[in-house]
Structure 1
Amino acid sequence: MKKAETIAAWEKESRAAAVEEAISRSGLNGAYGHICCIGYAFDDEKAKSLSWPLDYSDERALLSGFAETMSAQNRIPTIVGHNVAGFDVRFIWQRAMVLGVRMPAWFPKDPKPWSQDVFDTMAAWAGARDTISMSNLCDALGLPGKDDIDGSMIGDLFAKGEFERIDSYCRADIERTRSIHRRMLVAFGEAA
């Protein structure tokens, strides 16, 4: 490249690509990423989700709403999720610290996949040091898997304003996790 404008255009494109890549990677980092949707279900209740901006004006309000919903429970629930001990709980705590949101006293601080505070479907299948995607686990168990969205697409969907799709994806993930969890409880000889 010899022309100054060609070089400038290349540098601008390279810089934009680098910034986009850095933003994409930071989505899984509690210091920089954001929570745009949190889903939950108690026992056999229908899956629910809280999202920003559908239900709340910003991330802090969303996380505060989630903390209030969890605090209102008359019991301490076991948190069930796929990679919940390895990612979700830690990310929620990190965002709570960044935003100054008080979580319920019972909310696990640093759960291990084998702790009583959580049931991590990924760890229950793959062990504490290995992984399996939820989609692959659903396939292995003969359960309905993911549709046309996966977690890596949430940032782009949020940027495009497709909040209802994120909400729907979140609730569907809860139902998938619930199906996996029930199958595991049966195999472990526990009530489903």
Structure 2
Amino acid sequence: MTYLYLDIETIPAQTDAAKQRISASVKPPGNLKKADSIAAWEKDQRPAAVEEAISRSGLNGAFGHICCIGYALDENRPTSLSWPLDYSGERELLVAFSEAMESYNRSPVIIGHNVAGFDIRFMWQRAMVLGVKMPGWFPRDPKPWGIEVFDTMAAWAGARDTISMDNLCSALGLQGKDDVDGSMVGDMWARGEFERIDSYCRADIERTRAIHRRMLVAYGEAA
């Protein structure tokens, strides 16, 4: 069996059009009924609410973008593809990943933390937006307990619960995250800290592989 360890890093909406659309969707809280209360909210709180909504768009494939894709095949060293370190745009980044994956002779099992619920779906969404053909074997709507993927979050927490990678590493006695987590990537990208994002993504691949190995030992599938 061939394993492909996979992780992506995403950033919020970057285009003015997307930001305007997100801003237009931000409405006053439903409990505000009076005109003066709504006006006060629009003046004092709406700017922060819009900023937060734009920041959260990094989790939404309709608006956010992939800035880094990390992967490793079996025991190979992690590889990271980055925008803009390696490619001039998100589309070129996704095309490069797809072309690299097409070289595999058989479909690997994709391993990742929340990979079924987030990474794979986000990649498909961005491929649709950008008009990128994904590898023929790339799973379209995998279940975290299916044969196409091994989702380390679901393997630990089940289908209805969650656990962060850092907390799971702590529970298993493995090296966790250092001074970076996924929520910081958008700000890091805005500051031009692309190498740091690249390094963080590759480190997440190594953490994912360590978690997976530990789980396989419990399943009796690895020494």
**Fold-level similarity (TM above 0.5):** yes
Count the aligned residue pairs.
184
Cα drift, residue 25 of structure 1: 1.3
Aligned residue type for 2:110: I
Give the structure 2 partner of residue 123 of structure 1: 154
Aligned residue type for 1:162: E
2:207 pairs with 1:176? yes
Give the structure 2 partner of residue 189 of structure 1: 220
Which of the residues 46, 66, 69 maps onto 1:35? Answer: 66
Cα drift, residue 20 of structure 1: 1.5
Aligned residue type for 1:188: Y
Cα drift, residue 74 of structure 1: 1.7
Deviates more, 1:13-22 or 1:91-100: 13-22
Give the structure 2 partner of residue 46 of structure 1: 77
Cα drift, residue 105 of structure 1: 1.0
Between the aligned partners of 2:84 and 2:46, the Cα distance in structure 1 is 30
**Equivalent residue of 1:88, what SS?**
helix
Give the structure 2 partner of residue 138 of structure 1: 169
Percentage of pairs with the same residue: 77
Give the structure 1 partner of residue 139 of structure 2: 108
2:91 pairs with 1:63? no
Cα drift, residue 85 of structure 1: 0.7
Between the aligned partners of 1:16 and 1:161, the Cα distance in structure 2 is 24
Cα drift, residue 160 of structure 1: 0.6
TM-score by length of 1: 0.92
Which of the residues 13, 24, 27 maps onto 2:55? Answer: 24
2:128 pairs with 1:97? yes
Instruction: Give me the CA root mean square deviation.
Output: 1.6
Q: Which runs of no fewer than 5 residues in structure 1 stay unpaired?
A: 1-6
| Greater RCO, 1 or 2 (C-alpha within 8 Å, sep 6+) | 2
Between the aligned partners of 2:55 and 2:103, the Cα distance in structure 1 is 35
Between the aligned partners of 2:153 and 2:45, the Cα distance in structure 1 is 37
Between the aligned partners of 1:176 and 1:121, the Cα distance in structure 2 is 11
Between the aligned partners of 1:70 and 1:130, the Cα distance in structure 2 is 31
Deviates more, 1:69-78 or 1:104-113: 69-78
Deviation digits for residues 35-83 of structure 1, max 9, x if unmatched?
0000000010001100000010000000000110111112211110000
TM-score by length of 2: 0.79
Give the structure 2 partner of residue 3 of structure 1: none
Cα drift, residue 18 of structure 1: 2.7
**Equivalent residue of 1:128, what SS?**
coil
Deviation digits for residues 82-117 of structure 1, max 9, x if unmatched?
000111100000000000000011100000011111
Tell me which protein shows more strand as a share of its residues. 2
**Equivalent residue of 1:73, what SS?**
coil
